[in-house]
Structure 1
Amino acid sequence: MMPVYRNSRATGSKPPRPGKATGPVETVKAETEESSQAKRSPSSPQGGPKKRSAFGDITNAHKNPAVLPGKKKDGGKAAPKKTQKSTVAHGVAKSNEVNLKKSLKKPTVEEVTAVTKPEPVQNCVSVEEKAPLEPVQPVPEISNIDKESLNDPFAGAEYAMEIFTYMREREAKFLIPSYMEKQLDISKAMRAVLVDWMVEVQENFELNHETLYLAVKLVDHYLAIASCMREKLQLIGSTAILISSKFEERCPPCVDDFLYICDDAYKREELIATEIDILRTLKFDINIPISYRFLRRYAKCARASMETLTLARFICELTLQEYDYIQECASKLAASCLLLALKMKRLGGWTPTLVHYSGYEVTELHSLVKRLNFLLTYWPDKNLKAVRSKYSHKVFFEVAKIVPLDMLKLDEELKRDCDRRGPSPGSIVS
């Protein structure tokens, strides 16, 4: 059923009165009211904007028709002497018409030459002769990587910049000191074997990589405070995975699963007691910044492919076993791993977008990138195979089989990048 507009009449409801306009008048009235409602803004207290003509006839000649004195108007008497204004208006209109004809008149050659001919200038020095202009260097553009994910409600693009800024600030709180000198019963090699086993647990349980990175951080922070005996080291590692699984996973493994992977070397009461001990020692503050989160963020800034990101993940995961990298900031380590992966894949260097979002210049990553390439080139311990065998699989694009860069060539490329470092980045392109 079609809606009936207000003030509209049904057809044939009432015969038209003689002398009155029929249907078309009411139709025009209804259309006028509907159009006025459509154009009127409900938010404006004064209704819709009023129409006005822009730059019509500047004079008022069309409003005051000229009436010559002495002549009658509409068959009546002559117009009074007040028609002086109309006479003036008529004169103005006539003057405008003459000026218009003059403007439309085609100028002569002499007039054009007289206008366009420049006058001689004496004792004048150009600006270029006084101070030559320097070439303006273009400001590198920074792409807004979060704008592309604004329509994804699970991405949290509105808060991404604040989240990673907050994580960078928290890094200063979770710096790990060199603690192995205080440990009397364990060594760096034992820690490397433990992390190698934790990598296998993460792969067998199909846990997130964030769970593995956080578990290794929990082990290091706990060992930096408490002393540990070698027979309890595996218990601390499995308990750290249990805690990080509860923090990162949707469905974390149960306690029995961790007792099983330890070959029933520990009891349930020991695992629960160790969990309480680790949480109390760390004061329940386990939201530790990890390099894997920064790595995914920087890879998005570089628009890196999944293969390039996997190569950077492989390099970053190798550092988990090495005690010498525990004191590196997570954000700086992630930036260095991605830069080395970009160099290995011949994909360029550190762009202004990466400088903006990471906060690191290429000069700050120079030494760490060379250390990472040395770690790839020379395998410190041939017995630790979990990470390399994991990333030699086709699922991970076999990135562990990629030949590392030559140390001298890498050093030359990094020096060239430092020399080509441009001006400070500009504003983000929206």
Structure 2
Amino acid sequence: MPFQRSNKHSSLSKRQGKVSGLGNQEEVFHVKRTPSSPQGGPKKRSAFVDLTNTNKVQNGPSVKSGKPAKKALTSKAVKTRSKCPSSEEQPKKAEGQVEGSLSEDSSASRPKEQSAVQQALESAVQEQKIPEAFDIDKEQAGDCLMSPEYAKDIFDYLKNREEKFVLTDYMHNQPDLNGEMRGILVDWMVEVQENFELNHETLYLAVKLTDHYLAVTVVMKESLQLIGSTAMLIAAKFEERCPPCVDDFLYICDDAYKRQEFIVMERNILQGLNFDINIPVPYRFLRRYAKVAHASMETLTLARYVCELSLLELELVPERASHLASACLLLALITKGLEGWTAALQYHTGYVLSDLSPLVRRLYAMLASPSDEKLKAVENKYSHKVFFEVAKIPLVHIKTLEDALTEQDISQ
């Protein structure tokens, strides 16, 4: 059952009802400018036309001003001027000839410059062109919501960016904490994500924020839940369309902290991370790589179960997001008896099988080890029918795993 929100939402809905009631009474007032105002009546104009106060040059006579138009020059005067140019007009004529020659030269060189730029652009496009056999985004061509033209560039950027957020084992710098306490906190954060029905990206980002803050700040165990709750609040603001409010987190913490403590901790976390919270998370890579492998929803959910279970492991904190996602997907493919690490996956992930085999074995050992009775949130979550009960799928035999890894090593 989701946690109950505070009663403040009801008062807010009442206030919204009053506001919407005003619209039914049609008490809407429009302020109109009258012609008698100093600015005059309202004038129509385009958004990007006539933005300045510069007077336009009028070739014809001014009708509104009431001034008489200038007399036209006689043909005799025109002939005289054309025959006898003044001393001022002669330099202008020479300048005009020079400008004309310069414009001809520039117009002649312009096609050459344009062709050079066009050739450079075409060569750049050819370099970035994805092989047709590995182009998984061509089906979404024209869909602006999927951004198929930039999808690979986006994930290449995220893969390069994750190098900035590589962590090491920070727990030896925390005299009052240990790995078990962190596991209990992450297990509780999984329950919060499930009860508030938040996106999975929110959970992964919140765990990342917690680890990065603990890596730079020494804290006491009494404030560990406050750090996890505030990290979840920041991640929800970053990822969710309608994030929970501070009162919701005060409620789930059983009023163990005050509102001001949440606000101070939020500021501390953001300052500790230099406000750089757009950290690549493995969940995004996992969905992308599953699309490359044409994996079913059940196979993807199995990989998500392994990936989410790895959040509890302190030893896996230093792993890069794309590397962890690739290993989780490979283990799921082997468990389901599907095709292993294909050439398309190598192309999009940048990892070959030899890069993933050690991590796959570590994840297999994590699944094979008996689970802690205190840390059951992930297992209970993925034992539900909504998630295809993937937590109940029997673990593949170790010989089958090694044969799959060895066969692909030989083929490569």
- TM-score w.r.t. the length of structure 1 is 0.65
Contact 2:170 2:215 survives alignment (8 Å): yes
Q: Which residue of 2 aligns with 1:264?
A: 255
Q: Which residue of 2 aligns with 1:302?
A: 293
**Match for 1:179 among 159, 163, 170?**
170
Q: CA RMSD in A?
A: 1.1
Q: Which residue of 1 aligns with 2:408?
A: 417
Contact 2:287 2:300 survives alignment (8 Å): yes
Equivalent residues in 2 for 1:326-341 (5 A)? 326-341=317-332
Q: What per-residue deviation string (whole Å, max 9, x for no partner) do you get for residues 76-98 of structure 1?
A: xxxxxxxxxxxxxxxxxxxxxxx
Contact 1:239 1:271 survives alignment (8 Å): yes
Contact 2:234 2:266 survives alignment (8 Å): yes
Q: Which residue of 1 aligns with 2:181?
A: 190
Separation of aligned partners in 2, 1:296 and 1:238? 26
Separation of aligned partners in 2, 1:294 and 1:146? 15
Q: What displacement does 1:142 show?
A: 3.0
Contact 2:190 2:377 survives alignment (8 Å): yes
Contact 2:191 2:377 survives alignment (8 Å): yes
Distance 1:141 1:366, change over 3 A: farther
Separation of aligned partners in 2, 1:292 and 1:248? 13
Give the structure with higher Rg (CA). Answer: 1
Could you say what secondary structure the match of 1:324 adopts?
A: helix
Gaps of 5+ in 1: 1-139, 422-430
Q: What displacement does 1:318 show?
A: 0.4
Q: What per-residue deviation string (whole Å, max 9, x for no partner) do you get for residues 344-376 of structure 1?
A: 011110011100000000111111111111111
Equivalent residues in 2 for 1:153-168 (5 A)? 153-168=144-159
Q: Which residue of 2 aligns with 1:255?
A: 246
The structure that is helix-richer by fraction is: 2
Q: Which residue of 1 aligns with 2:80?
A: none
Q: What displacement does 1:263 show?
A: 0.4
Contact 2:205 2:235 survives alignment (8 Å): yes
Contact 1:180 1:187 survives alignment (8 Å): yes
Q: What displacement does 1:408 show?
A: 2.7
**Match for 1:150 among 141, 145, 149?**
141
Separation of aligned partners in 2, 1:277 and 1:349? 44
Residue 324, structure 1, aligned to residue 315, structure 2: yes
Residue 407, structure 1, aligned to residue 398, structure 2: yes
Q: Which residue of 1 aligns with 2:229?
A: 238
Q: What per-residue deviation string (whole Å, max 9, x for no partner) do you get for residues 308-360 of structure 1?
A: 00000000000001101000111010000000000001111001110000000
Contact 1:259 1:267 survives alignment (8 Å): yes
Gaps of 5+ in 2: 1-130
Q: Which residue of 1 aligns with 2:220?
A: 229
Equivalent residues in 2 for 1:278-427 (5 A)? 278-421=269-412
Could you say what secondary structure the match of 1:145 adopts?
A: coil
Separation of aligned partners in 2, 1:181 and 1:197? 23
Distance 1:340 1:322, change over 3 A: same
Q: Which residue of 2 aligns with 1:169?
A: 160
Contact 2:202 2:240 survives alignment (8 Å): yes
Percent sequence identity over aligned pairs: 60
Q: Post-superposition, which runs of at least 4 consecutive aligned residues in structure 1 deviate over 2 A?
A: 140-143
**Match for 1:220 among 211, 231, 234?**
211
Q: Which residue of 2 aligns with 1:82?
A: none
Contact 2:134 2:347 survives alignment (8 Å): no
Q: What code does the residue aligned with 1:198 have? A: M
Q: What displacement does 1:411 show?
A: 1.2
Separation of aligned partners in 1, 2:348 and 2:355? 15
Q: Which residue of 2 aligns with 1:3?
A: none
- TM-score w.r.t. the length of structure 2 is 0.67
